[in-house]
Amino acid sequence: MDLALENKVVFVAGSSRGIGNGIARVFLDEGANVVLTGRDPQALQAAYADLSGGREERVATFPGDLSSPAVIQDAHQQALGRWGGVDVLVCNVGSGTGRGGWQLAASDWEAIFEVNLWSGIRLVEVFLPTMVKAGRGNILFISSIAGLESLGAPLPYSAAKAALTKYGKDLARQVSGAGIRVNTIAPGNVLFSGGSWQRKLDGDPAGVMSMIRREVPLARFGEPEEIGAAAAFLASARASFITGATLVVDGGQTRA
């Protein structure tokens, strides 16, 4: 299936590793131009070396903390200077790290909402006006199934992801008239080197795999490129009548 993504400009927040890296890889394979981003310059350079072979002219990198409005502005200007605009914004800034239980301080909530909700909103506030002016664009939020069902994740993380999903749904209605589609992907358990599931698997391989076989009908972890495939489809012309949707990619784990 031709997704017609060749020469589209795709900005992928948090793409030096993990899910964001898998998303960037798929878009590059589809012929798009991609901006890779990450806070760690060394990890970002390693991602560039891995992804750019033979297609260096289609890959740009931007090191920086995308929770900062000023840094987001700089990243946006770099993308505009390189390619003149951004067709697809992938908001993939997030972290599931947080304290469990219900006896939490305000700082516990604020830190997790900052990275999992506000960072995505700030990206939109910077990138969206240019899309509106151009009369076209796609915005994708990477949320989590923890924002859809009770799965034992830290309370602030689940609440932040639920809020992000709702924000995307409502935003889609407000910007559809400007030719912009907004969708959300809710991944399940995705395994990649250096990720939280890899650490859990290293610590208790039998217990973790038992849980996966029990809770996930497909009885395995997801891969970053599988989230990337969903992102590429939603951003493509093949999904032209899809907006305000949340696509669950979790191997059948959720039940609602």
187 with 142: CB under 8 angstroms?
yes
Which pLDDT value is given to residue 101? 83
pLDDT in tens, 197-207: 899 999 999 99
pLDDT in tens, 130-183: 999 999 999 999 999 999 999 988 999 999 999 999 999 999 999 999 999 999
pLDDT at 117 over 70: yes
Average pLDDT over residues 197-226: 95
pLDDT at 98 over 80: no
Work out the mean pLDDT of the chain and round it to a whole number.
95
Alpha carbon separation from 87 to 22, 139, 181 (Å, rounded): 18, 9, 11
Percent pLDDT > 70 in the chain is 100
Specify whether 157 is catalytic: yes
- Please state the pTM of the whole predicted model: 0.95
- Residue type at 73 in one-letter notation: Q
Average pLDDT over residues 92-108: 83
pLDDT at 187 over 90: yes
Question: How many other C-beta atoms are found inside a 10 Å radius of the C-beta of residue 232?
Answer: 24
pLDDT at 96 over 70: no
Which pLDDT value is given to residue 2? 87
pLDDT at 17 over 70: yes
Which pLDDT value is given to residue 235? 98
Alpha carbon separation from 205 to 96, 199, 201, 224 (Å, rounded): 20, 10, 5, 20
Nearest to 165 by CA among 91, 56, 61, 109: 91
Which pLDDT value is given to residue 102? 87
Distance CA 97, CA 146 (A): 13
Alpha carbon separation from 109 to 77, 98, 114, 121, 153 (Å, rounded): 31, 9, 8, 17, 13
Average pLDDT over residues 236-253: 97
Instruction: Map residue 9 onto helix, strand or coil.
Output: strand
Q: To which H or E segment does residue 229 belong?
A: helix 224-235
37 with 12: CB under 8 angstroms?
yes
pLDDT in tens, 35-73: 999 999 999 999 999 999 999 999 999 999 998 899 999
Half-sphere exposure (Cβ direction) of 87: Cα atoms closer than 13 Å: 17
Annotated catalytic residue: which of 157, 167, 192, 221?
Answer: 157
Q: In the beta sheet, which residues pair with residue 139? A: 89, 182
